[in-house]
Amino acid sequence: MSFTPPSCPVCSMENTYLDGANFVCADCGHEWNQDVPELSETELSVRDSNGNILKDGDSVVLIKDLKVKGSSITLKMGTKVKSIRLVGGDHEVDCKMDSGNFMLKACFLKKA
């Protein structure tokens, strides 16, 4: 009875091997732990500044003052933002505030 490692969840190639507790794909270099379920492409794993996982509809608080580029608006530290929406890209959080709609990086937020 021989052990056959699983196919890579990213590129679907079968050229994978076991390296300690992780599987490694020799073709694309992706590493994963078989015990931890892989996120599908539609699921986003966004964490706040404290490492808490954020979900759509969560409330968050700004942890520092943020200047809005191209504007004289400054979003103040401690401002609570309700009903966030997670999106892909560099700025993971889409939100609506009194001063407008903004895309924010999750590293400047903490879960309320």
Burial class (CB in 10 A: 0-12, 13-18, 19+), 16: buried
The C-alpha atoms of residue 104 and residue 60 are separated, in whole angstroms, by 11
- Among the residue ranges 35-39, 63-67, 91-95, the one predicted with the least confidence is 35-39
What is the pTM (predicted TM-score) of this model?
Answer: 0.61
For the chain, which domains are there?
Answer: 1-37 (2.20.25.10), 46-111 (2.30.30.40)
pLDDT tens figures, 94-105? 999 998 999 999
Report whether 60 contacts 112 (CB < 8 A): yes
d(CA 1, CA 99): 64
Between 79 and 40, the more confident residue is: 79
User: Strands, E, within 26-107: which ranges?
Assistant: 31-32, 46-47, 53-54, 60-62, 66-67, 74-75, 80-81, 85-86, 93-97, 100-104
